[in-house]
Every structure is written in structure tokens, then in C-alpha cells.
Chains A and B, each alone.
Chain A
């Protein structure tokens, strides 16, 4: 007990721009977050040593905690770390069938936090010579090769291995180093694959098949192998990581993998389905946990500074402009977006904020569509349909179902503004249905909790619940459309005994103050044609928790009608009214 009481842990996340460190201390039988500090990441000249940035961040922790945490050899206390610098982990995957083994390989790589540069398969429509050129022009950190169920395809797997060998794929870092290739395919061709990929060029290792049977997916061993290869072959090339490896207890994970692990553990602990969006400068990550199945997707095209012109390019200027609270012409929208990309202003004007928030909605929409493909049921399985399936959703292509999502987690650039703006972005972009809690990660500490998981799972989950994930509120959103005035009758009984009843007309938003952490019994009765996820007109009873915006009733219906210019401000004011309870 005594030693545990004295325990202190430093967890650092090395980001592209900044290194963020936290200090945890054992107090009252649990680990508590004592201080957070940040310093610039030092992987560029003149300070080519990642540990310098960590040292600077830890010294700031020292200033806050008043005790010496950094010694001659590095941190004086237990030290854990994740890394997302240099753009993270870059991977290429390949599988025999695009919709079967390649898709499983994609899920394994993305789930391990990778940025997928390309994905190949034998049924790829691109001719071989284009595939060769594509493999050659991308310089991945790791290549994941899948294909063939155990005891299944042999020749096609070997053809893929031959293609990789002929392409002479080179690693991103370290000219002359071997490219790590993880083979997670047919167990019976391991030897031939390893012989095909020359030892002087490729560091090949075989792990359990990601698709041992057509109806079974096994991503764990491939993910673990990715983490190991990341430590052994990738991260060592970054300046100062050799020193860092001696300081760290356990693995250095890619930050996105740590985030995924944390969100999965959190959803598992609450036994809920969860959807998380992380809208960054250049990319948008979506994480989901549905019925215990974790998935991550990365839209490397769209973000809110470097990637904002891509949002306009892919979604279209009109799609972005429809979310603006006031009229801006096409030229103005394009110029503002281009300046967000080129100038990256620290302080935004109201127009810049409006364009960024509008682009955030479309970035999330685009990325969720991509995520639906990744978070899908296994393909290639013969499913016998019965008449009952006509009315069930058991054969849905994707796991993502907003009516079955109990929690939404937001992080990233899009949610740095006002809470009501963040909430409206999420309501507009995700269109939740039923009763859904909305949380956000204001200090970007979810990855730190993910790193802590392997060391102390209970403490990591508690940290997420109590300190890291801040509740914005719980939203109640009916699906469908109605003409009747009284769309939704709400009865909210608080623990104090106070009961609030409200009738929210269709097409409106209303926020009822309910403090963060405060629980209340909700009874929501939708009018005949509206559905809160239990069927049309069916009353839903639920225990809800509050947040900075309390209980949010979004009675605009689903799908959302096209937004009207003058309504955006009205919705923001309606949401801000929920702040009374915070």
C-alpha cells in the first residue's frame, strides 16, 4: 500500500508540434491527474533530439508540482509515452481479395493507428505495372500483407509477395534499412512468403492470419506485430528515440492507437456503443465501438487548416456554405478557407470561425461515410435471409447506427470554440437519434489514458470518466418528420425531486440546464410520427447525465432539413440556454 501511495507516473504524448506531458500521483487509492504541461517537440534542427522536448515539458511539470522529476538519465519516475510526430505511422496493406483479406488488413492497420498510404489486392482494377509504381512511390514504415484463409489460397498470396519483391518497396526512414513486412495471411505459405521477400531488403515476420476463416476476423496479433515493428524498425530512426526507448517503461505506441485503446476501454467499461470524431488540421479520424467491435478510419484528405481546401474541393463550396450563419459569397468562402490553410491564424475572425465550423461539419460527414465502409460486417459470408430479416437491421452493411449510439466523443481543432458551437457541429454532422451523451476532450488527453491502460486499466478508465472526457450534455433527438406542434414531451425528474416538464415543437432546439455529473430521470414522449429509436410514438425512459449545456432536445427531425441561414444563430442561442446548470 505504502509504495503504491508514493507512486507517480509521467505520461508524454509526442505530437507533431508539441509534446504534452501529464503527472499522475496515487492519492486515496487511485491515480489522480496532478499537472499538465506542454513544450515544443524537438525533432527538427537545431534541436534534433525528441527527449529535449520531453525534458522541457517535464521541467514545466516540476514547476507545477514543486518536486524534481527529471534526473541525469531522464525522468526520475515511471515514464510512459506515445508518439504521433512525423505524421504518425505510415503503412501499406495488401490482401488477395479487396473486400475480404485486404479489408481486414486495412482494419488492422487503421486500428493500430496507421495512416494508410495505399491498399492493394489481386482483384485491384489497376494493372500490375501501376501497382508496382504505386508501391514504389509510397515509402511506408510497415507493409502488412494478408491473404488466403488458413489452408486456402496459395498462388495469389505468393503473387502478391512477388509483386512486393519486384517493386523493391523502400522504407520511409533510413536508406539501406530493411522494410518491415508483417505477413498475416494463410499460415501454410509463411515459408514461401518469407523466401520470396529477400532478407537483405525486407524484415519479414509472420503472425496469425487476420482472416483465418471467411467468417472470422482476428486482428489482435497483426496489431501487436505492428506495434512491435513500430518500436523496432520505425521509431528508432527518429532523432533521440534510442535514448527515449531506455527511458520508457513498455511500448511506445502510435498516438492514434493509444486513443483507440482508450475509447474502446471506456465504451467497454460502460457497456455502450460509442462514436468519436477527431477533426485535426490535416486529417479527420473517426473511431467507433459498436457491440464490442472497435474500428478506426482515417480521412487523410480533410482537416481544418492544411486540409480545409480539400473539404471545399470534395464536398463542394455550396455544401460548406449552407452551414454559414450569414451570407458569404463563393469568393469570400474560398479566400477565407485558403487563408486558414496558408496563414494558419492563431486568432480567428468571426468569418473565419464561421467557415471553419461549416467546413468541420462537412469534414465529419465525409469521414463518417468513409468510416462506415471500414466499420462494416465481414464480407464474403453467405447469409441466409429470412422473412424476419426484412424488418431487422441485423444485415446492415455497417456497424455505425446513430440510433444505437449512446455516446459521442469529440476532439480536435473543430471543438476549440464555444460549447454550443461544438454541440451544434456534432448535431448537424452526425444527426444522432434517440438519447445520446456528448463529450469532448478539451485538453487532448485521451491518448495519455490509452497509454496508461496497459499499466493500470482501472485508473485509465477512471481518469477518462472523471477528468479527461468533459460532458457537453445529453441530447434527445427524434427521427422522422411531423406537422403536429407538440413534437416531443419531456419530463425530467432530478435527484433533488424537482421535476421539469417541457413540450418542444417540431423543428426547434431547446436546452434544459442540468449540471455536469448530475443525473436525472428522463421520460420523452414523441408525437405519433416521430421515433426516438424505440419505434414511432413510443415513449423512452432513461437516466441521463448533464453537462455544460445540460439536456439538449433537438426536435428538428431526422434526416435534418436543409439548414436556413437565419436559424444557425437561433440554434446557438437555444443551446447556450442550457449553460444555466453548469
Chain B
């Protein structure tokens, strides 16, 4: 099911929102090179019932507001204040760092959006920057062999390839995973057991490339059941690439031989899969230089 190709690969490395680009055209980059940095809107919003805190009707909250929509606030900043006739003061403070998103006069609710989240885009593959897209990112080019696979979990990572089995139809067992596999891309054969997956995670392996895995074991590892085939945002800390599918499936001989020939060399992998939306399959990139 997997497909091997050799080509000049161009990767567009872009921020989701405008930011600062740190590379120049013609510059040589490594997978860990920071291409661009920026900030994106925080999806987290916290609502504060000012009417309850100030002890007034929702419709009467507005005069007590000290901040306007769009103002930045720090946690514990005073955002509304009410001095009563008898001198007792009711104070309402920001519960998070962020900015005032909206005030809803009908419900007396103030919405604070969390502070923007810093994001960083790395080069992911080694190569040359052939184009800079101002404020957004750059295009990195390299000649490489690549393996398009069937399914993956976990996002982009890179590391040195290390085979943990001898043959493409051999199962990757827990005993085959050692401390030396830390930061490595482990290559298995037909399948990987749940114990081996947990062990690899424990020793700090960056990724496992294997023919298949039992869906039930993957569910146990993730802690939730897969729904639609859209992955890539898992926070596992380890990427898993299935070259052939689910269940025990011997790895394609050509793929196994290719990975064996790259033993000790760099591999850049991405488990992101979007079967329905854009037919995005996980890939293993093996740079040639």
C-alpha cells in the first residue's frame, strides 16, 4: 500500500497568521531551524458574570466597567468597580491574562480572551530556502526519497533511523526497544505490540515506522477511539506511521530495504492523515544529502 518516490521535495513552511520570518533565500537549513515565529488568537474565552459580582442588574453593569472591548488585561487587573452608598466596594478582577473580547449587556457577562499563543514553524526537512514569503514563512527544497504511507498519528518530527527488526514480516516486540532508541526513528516490521509502543514512548523514541498495528492497541495508546481518519494533532509526543494499514501487515519489501539502507541517517516524518478532507497521507522523507 505504501509508495516510494524520489524527487526534489519543496515544503512550504507557513505560519497560520502573520509573523516574523527568520530565514533568507539561499540559506541552508536543518530540520530544527526556526523558519518563522508568530502569534495566533487564543481560542480560550472566559466569561465573568459582572452582574453577580457587582450585585447589580445586568442592564446596569456598564457604568461600572473600567475596561473597554479590545483592552489588554493581566490576571487580577481590576476590570469593574462598584462603590456603594455606604462605602462598601465591590471589585471584579480579570481571571486570566488576555484581552476584553466582548461585553454582553443583556446577560451582564464580560468575555476575556486568553493572551495570544506563540507559535513557531521549523524547517522540518534539511535543504535550501528557495523562497521567502514575507511575514508568513518560506519554501525549503531538498532532494529526497519519500514513502507515502497509509495512516499515522502524531505530527512532524525527525531523527536518525534505527531498525529494531531483521525482516519486514517480523513483529516489533517490547524486548527489542532499548534506551539507545531515545530520539530515534524506530523501524519495525509487520506490526508493533502495545507493550512495545509504550516502551518506545517511555524511552523517548521520536517515531515508529511499521507495517501495521492493531486498532485496539492504538486506541489504548491514545486513550480514546479514533473517529474519522483525521489525525496529526495528537499530543502523544511520539509519531506512529503505518505503511500498510491496520492489523499485522508485513512492511512492503521495497520500503523495508529503503529504510534499512538509511540506517543511521536522517528521516523526517509526519503522521498527519486526512483521509476524507484532502486525502493527506503520512509521509517519511529521507533526504539524500
Query: In the complex the two chains form, what is the Cα distance from A339 to B151 in whole Å?
Result: 9
- Beta-carbon contacts of B214-226 to A below 8 Å, as 1s and 0s? 1110010000011
Contact across chains for B47 and A343 when beta carbons are under 8 A apart: no
- Beta-carbon contacts of A270-312 to B below 8 Å, as 1s and 0s? 0000000000001000000000000000000100001101101
Q: Does A30 reach chain B (CB closer than 8 Å)?
A: no
Contact A310:B106 (CB < 8 A) given known A129-B47, A330-B216, A343-B1: no
Q: Does A568 reach chain B (CB closer than 8 Å)?
A: no
Residues from chain B with Cβ under 8 Å of A330 in the complex: 216
Contact across chains for B214 and A334 when beta carbons are under 8 A apart: yes
Residues from chain A with Cβ under 8 Å of B107 in the complex: 128, 159
Contact across chains for B102 and A310 when beta carbons are under 8 A apart: no
Query: In the complex the two chains form, what is the Cα distance from A260 to B11 in whole Å?
Result: 44
Contact across chains for A166 and B225 when beta carbons are under 8 A apart: no
Q: Does B43 reach chain A (CB closer than 8 Å)?
A: yes
Q: Contact partner of B226 among A338, A343, A344, CB < 8 A?
A: A338
Query: In the complex the two chains form, what is the Cα distance from A137 to B43 in whole Å?
Result: 9
Query: In the complex the two chains form, what is the Cα distance from A335 to B218 in whole Å?
Result: 11
Contact across chains for A339 and B247 when beta carbons are under 8 A apart: yes
Segment 46-97 of B: residues with Cβ below 8 Å from A: 46-47
Q: Does A382 reach chain B (CB closer than 8 Å)?
A: no
- Total interface residues on A, using CB and 8 Å? 33
Residues from chain A with Cβ under 8 Å of B104 in the complex: 128, 162-163, 166
Residues from chain A with Cβ under 8 Å of B245 in the complex: 338-339, 342-343
Query: In the complex the two chains form, what is the Cα distance from A334 to B226 in whole Å?
Result: 11
Q: Contact partner of B229 among A162, A313, A342, CB < 8 A?
A: A342
- Measured CB to CB, the nearest residue on chain A to B107 is A128
Q: Does B111 reach chain A (CB closer than 8 Å)?
A: yes
Contact across chains for B275 and A341 when beta carbons are under 8 A apart: yes
- Beta-carbon contacts of A73-102 to B below 8 Å, as 1s and 0s? 000000000000000000000000000000
Q: Does B109 reach chain A (CB closer than 8 Å)?
A: yes
Query: In the complex the two chains form, what is the Cα distance from A129 to B242 in whole Å?
Result: 40
- Measured CB to CB, the nearest residue on chain B to A317 is B216
Residues from chain B with Cβ under 8 Å of A337 in the complex: 215
Query: In the complex the two chains form, what is the Cα distance from A133 to B114 in whole Å?
Result: 12
Residues from chain B with Cβ under 8 Å of A163 in the complex: 104
Residues from chain B with Cβ under 8 Å of A339 in the complex: 245-247
Segment 104-133 of B: residues with Cβ below 8 Å from A: 104, 106-107, 109, 111
**What's the nearest-Cβ distance from chain A to residue B196, in Å?**
16
Query: In the complex the two chains form, what is the Cα distance from A313 to B47 in whole Å?
Result: 33
Q: Does B45 reach chain A (CB closer than 8 Å)?
A: yes
Contact A162:B1 (CB < 8 A) given known A132-B111, A309-B226, A342-B246: no
Q: Contact partner of A128 among B111, B226, B228, CB < 8 A?
A: B111
Contact A127:B47 (CB < 8 A) given known A162-B104, A331-B214, A343-B1: yes
- Measured CB to CB, the nearest residue on chain A to B242 is A342
Query: In the complex the two chains form, what is the Cα distance from A337 to B245 in whole Å?
Result: 11
Q: Does B150 reach chain A (CB closer than 8 Å)?
A: yes
Contact A338:B111 (CB < 8 A) given known A132-B45, A133-B43, A312-B225: no
Q: Does A155 reach chain B (CB closer than 8 Å)?
A: yes
Contact across chains for B225 and A133 when beta carbons are under 8 A apart: no
Segment 200-253 of B: residues with Cβ below 8 Å from A: 212, 214-216, 219, 225-229, 242, 245-247
Q: Contact partner of B227 among A132, A155, A310, A342, CB < 8 A?
A: A310
Contact across chains for B106 and A129 when beta carbons are under 8 A apart: no
Contact across chains for B225 and A282 when beta carbons are under 8 A apart: no
Residues from chain B with Cβ under 8 Å of A334 in the complex: 214-216, 219, 246
Query: In the complex the two chains form, what is the Cα distance from A332 to B216 in whole Å?
Result: 9
**What's the nearest-Cβ distance from chain B to residue A551, in Å?**
41
Contact across chains for A306 and B275 when beta carbons are under 8 A apart: yes
Contact across chains for A309 and B150 when beta carbons are under 8 A apart: no
Residues from chain B with Cβ under 8 Å of A309 in the complex: 215, 225-229
Query: In the complex the two chains form, what is the Cα distance from A155 to B104 in whole Å?
Result: 13
Contact across chains for A342 and B225 when beta carbons are under 8 A apart: no
Query: In the complex the two chains form, what is the Cα distance from A155 to B58 in whole Å?
Result: 14
Residues from chain B with Cβ under 8 Å of A137 in the complex: 43
- Measured CB to CB, the nearest residue on chain B to A137 is B43
- Measured CB to CB, the nearest residue on chain B to A342 is B151
Contact across chains for B229 and A166 when beta carbons are under 8 A apart: no
**What's the nearest-Cβ distance from chain A to residue B57, in Å?**
14
List 7 A-B pairs, Cβ < 8 Å: A128-B104, A133-B43, A137-B43, A159-B106, A332-B247, A334-B216, A338-B226
Closest 9 CB pairs of A and B: A335-B247, A338-B246, A129-B47, A334-B215, A338-B215, A129-B45, A335-B246, A306-B276, A313-B225
- 15 extra interchain contacts, Cβ-Cβ under 8 A, other than A282-B228, A334-B246? A129-B45, A129-B111, A132-B102, A133-B43, A306-B276, A309-B215, A309-B225, A309-B227, A309-B228, A313-B227, A330-B216, A334-B215, A335-B214, A341-B229, A342-B273
